[in-house]
Amino acid sequence: MTAPPDTAPRAATVPPEDIKAVPVRHPWRWVSVAVLGLLVAMLVNSIVTNDAYRWGTVGKYLFDQRLSRGALVTLELTVVAMALGVALGVVLAVMRLSPNPILTSVAWVYLWVFRGTPVYTQLVFWGLISVLYPQLGFGVPFGPEFASFQTTQLITFFVAAVIGLSLNEAAYMAEIVRAGILSVSEGQTEAAAALGMRRGHIMRRIVLPQAMRVIIPPTGNELISMLKTTSLVIAVPLTTDLYSSAREIGIRLFQPLPLLICAAIWYLAITSVLMVGQYYLERHFARGSQRSLPLTPLQKLRRRLGGSPGGREARAAPHVPLGGGGGERAGGGGL
Amino acid sequence: MTAEARTGVPPMVLAEGVHKRFGRLEVLRGIDLAVQRSEVMCVIGPSGSGKSTFLRCINHLEQINAGRLYVDGVLVGYRQRGDKLYELRESEVAQQRIGVGMVFQHFNLFPHMTALGNVVEAPLRVKKESKREVHERARALLDRVGLADKADSYPSQLSGGQQQRVAIARALAMRPKLMLFDEPTSALDPELVGEVLDVMRGLAETGMTMVVVTHEMGFAREVGDELVFMDAGVVVEAGPPREVLANPQHERTRSFLSKVL
């Protein structure tokens, strides 16, 4: 990268010749490629030739309506439970960091209970909630009741699954959010307070947006983990999700394995879509933390197809160098 | 006993026997000071002398343990009724801080907002002023600190000196009656110090009351109306900057100045 002519008046008029050196050789890379290639070939061969996989059955049932409906239920569970889990997690994290000792201890006990018991047990518990409380009602505590419902009608298996998954998730999200909040320097809070902002405002407008950069990557993990944890809702028991649907068809056909592969392909597909979403979300919240954002894969592709032959230049393209005016640091690169 | 009782018009800042402890460490051990309106007071002293802590007490970022501190004749952080002091609620403390702008050593700009976003945030959402007016004023302020063309840049795209100038504009956007500067040039490259001091000098010329904790003796001499030398939590010496710098009365002041001048 050459400096702009106006900031480097003493630059040579003839650009110097680029160094042409023999690059370092990496023979072991070629060896590892050969070994890996061999192993992959063996694996592919076995997958294709082993009839027990029953690829015909896989292809036949992959887009079966029962499976796609199951995938929809799984997706609904994931999104709803995750949304509730994140919301409650933020509340718990703020409670844990609050100066109020009562809020802090309540949040601590919550975390202790919900992180300390397996999610499977929690799901079974919420499925059995109607045994503990057959009726739920609104009214004055220890006084008259205005309305009451059968618990089994109010808390269906789907609702029980959502409650179980989201309450458990909230405990984990609370710790992720807390770590994010703690990662924002105290100077930010002080500067905001010095401007007359109040605690809620500081949290919402100053701290949380910056904490997002730390919060989002592990939350992406949690979301993908949640997608797979939904296969446990059979404990409630909710049997309309992707895993249970595949299992049911497999048992009926006496061919559990191909249907398991079908389910795995669905899970993998959904996970892939979520990963793309996570990538763009992280980019959005990286705003202001980097001088220039790296290109997205799509932008890279577009540059390579339609762009100049100098791919290196495209990658190294800096943002506009810090413009004129007094007392700037010179140049854009290497800061 | 309030400030008016003595002078008629209360000084902008009045400290009476201010003490501040962190645990068992006594950082301020009885500070008595008065900053008059439109006065620029520069506070110097070795690190750990309590000068930054005193500044932070003025807008209640730190709570004082003893003594009284008034800004514009109003007690900071407390309400006095009879002999009793009542702690102010968070909203009341925030209200008090609106009148006091602060500039930090490490700028503390909000990195996820543009320069303009930093300046308009508090007037828009704390004072709830109209958007058009705030944006106009913010652009005028950025122009005044020489950064009209950087309104849409993020802090990470600005040099240290530019960031500090945005921070000054951000504080001024709240129309404070008092500005506090906590070593505003200490984190800057030497060649960037001048641009920030120029902005501060311009601000002093408009009649803004300023308390400046600094190591810039040249600035203190030329712009300051009063120079205060602090050490070990007390005011050792105070007076017109030229006199204090040229003819320090105390041994401690002399030895400090001999090292920094």
At B110-157, the pLDDT tens digits run: 999 999 999 999 999 999 999 999 999 999 999 999 999 999 999 999
- Inter-chain CB proximity B195 and A188 less than 8 Å: no
Instruction: Determine contact: A27 vs chain B, CB below 8 A.
Output: no
Q: Which one is predicted more confidently, A179 or A284?
A: A179
- What's the mean pLDDT in A221-245? 93
CA dist A188 and B90 (Å) reads: 18
Q: Dump pLDDT digits (tens) for B171-200.
A: 999 999 999 999 999 999 999 999 999 999
B13 and B71 Cβ atoms separated by less than 8 Å: yes
Eight-class DSSP state of B232: T
Kindly tell me if the per-residue pLDDT of A312 is higher than 80: no
Candidates B60, B108, B149: best to mutate against A (most CBs of A within 10 A) is B108
Chain A contact set for B112 (CB, 8 A): 209-210, 285, 287-289
As given in the structure block, the two tokens for residue B143 are: 């122009």
Candidates A195, A198, A289, A335: best to mutate against B (most CBs of B within 10 A) is A195
Q: HSE (CB half, 13 Å, CA atoms) of B39? A: 20
Partner residue opposite B94 with nearest CB, options A188, A197, A210: A197
> 3-state DSSP call for residue A275?
helix
Instruction: Determine contact: B94 vs chain A, CB below 8 A.
Output: yes
As given in the structure block, the two tokens for residue B211 are: 């308390």
The distance in angstroms from the start CA to the end CA of chain B is 40
Kindly tell me if the per-residue pLDDT of B256 is higher than 70: yes
- What's the mean pLDDT in A152-174? 94
Sequence-ordered list of residues with C-beta below 8 angstroms from that of B253, at least 6 positions apart, any chain: B229, B236, B237, B244
